[in-house]
Structure 1
């Protein structure tokens, strides 16, 4: 018997998140918001969270016309009680979870390590690395109990190489990359894939405001030094989909020309 040819419907089905349930932390702006929009547009139901309810409520309202339902929950990823409540709210709303995107994070003032305040170092590591652990731990049972699952962590090119003046952020994101690889090995037996994305300079609202980096107006220029949140969201959606079924334990760089991780000259 001749094996049937692949169908367009089959290819599209593997690449789609339609019918999936996803959680996106840090979903009120930037990469998190773009990811929530891409997921909901694809038909996934999405729970978004941030530390301020009004911020995620606004995003949920903006995305209300998309095929997937968007639910907004206030949660601080550094607070274990908040994170437990987030997991409970997700299971209550949708019965489980298929995809977890650990996107919440942030940097701080640029300074060499020897000039840093201890509390500032701890704060940055807490939100970026411990926050990723907190959320993943809270959703571990729900992810592992399903037929299959996917976790996508937001790391950074700073974590891949280390960047002068960004010591705590670089260290925390390097920890996210290592945690990703460890979880991928530990959760493969439960059919849960765990990957990370390591963006270079992306024109999020915060980056544009703080660094004056211009927003790209096209995706056509491969040589540009700055990407868009939507471009990162496209990569996250692929890694979360069944099209990436043999991709796990990877940190995928999304940064334009090879090894571009220094601040662009603008």
Structure 2
């Protein structure tokens, strides 16, 4: 009877993932994931993709109402999700988040450290120290703290997939603030370094590095007349969508990438070719 129920659940989750347009990875069914920066945009889309694959998802972000709304939408679509407010630049809040997440879904199998932002260009001569530190904390320190908080349980269980979030700004100098570019470049190297440390424990650490992604905030900020000029930067002829990044993260979370670690996937429409 138990086997029949498992098969039924697998079929249900596979159908849900297919219906939502996400790739299907049956090995993810029944696993747990925590995504930081999950109230909107790429983080929220990744949470939806994981939930559609049968993953029990914990969402975390500063905006309590937004993260709860996203979790509720996932549940309404048939997924399993809970949301908690947390400032992921604060160690105490991440430790509290770990306790809440473990109580809600059990030990975390997949960590998406996606908190970030602050890339708006500010000339370096006009950037004050507080601004610089704030952007580095939001992007790099938050990644370090999330990994450090959830890694011990993965090491103990000798399994886990950690996915960090960088940016094309960390690959190429461009229009982003220098603080943001430096922080994202730091995320790239941090990912490789940790991957080298923890591979012996069965834990994989990889990175997704998006270029221009049409999130809700970007849609509001980019004037329609600038879009054709932006599109010309990408060999594939379009701006990215959150689902493009979510699908890369989904692959890295699954056993389909079981022999990949320390890797950066540039979700950049061909703008980055390394």
* Shared fold per TM-score greater than 0.5: yes
TM-score using structure 1 length: 0.86
1:125 aligns with 136
In the alignment, structure 1 residue 166 sits paired with structure 2 residue 211:
no
In the alignment, structure 1 residue 140 sits paired with structure 2 residue 161:
no
- State the alpha-carbon separation in 2 of the partners of residues 86 and 114 from structure 1: 38
1:133, distance to aligned residue in structure 2 (A)? 0.6
1:224 aligned to 219, 222, 237, which one? 237
1:75 aligns with 86
1:4 aligns with none
2:122 aligns with 111
- 2:38 match: secondary structure: coil
In the alignment, structure 1 residue 62 sits paired with structure 2 residue 73:
yes
2:230 aligns with none
- State the alpha-carbon separation in 1 of the partners of residues 120 and 174 from structure 2: 13
In the alignment, structure 1 residue 89 sits paired with structure 2 residue 104:
no
CA contact (8 A) 1:23 1:99 kept: yes
TM-score using structure 2 length: 0.84
The one-character-per-residue Cα deviations of 1:1-30 (angstroms, maximum 9, x if unpaired) are xxxxxxxx9xx9866421110000010100
1:106, distance to aligned residue in structure 2 (A)? 0.4
- State the alpha-carbon separation in 1 of the partners of residues 250 and 176 from structure 2: 31
The one-character-per-residue Cα deviations of 1:103-125 (angstroms, maximum 9, x if unpaired) are 11102431221221211111000
- State the alpha-carbon separation in 2 of the partners of residues 257 and 14 from structure 1: 25
2:188 aligned to 177, 180, 183, which one? 177
Provide the aligned C-alpha RMSD in A: 2.1
CA contact (8 A) 1:107 1:124 kept: yes
Count of residue pairs brought into register by the alignment: 245
1:233 aligns with 246
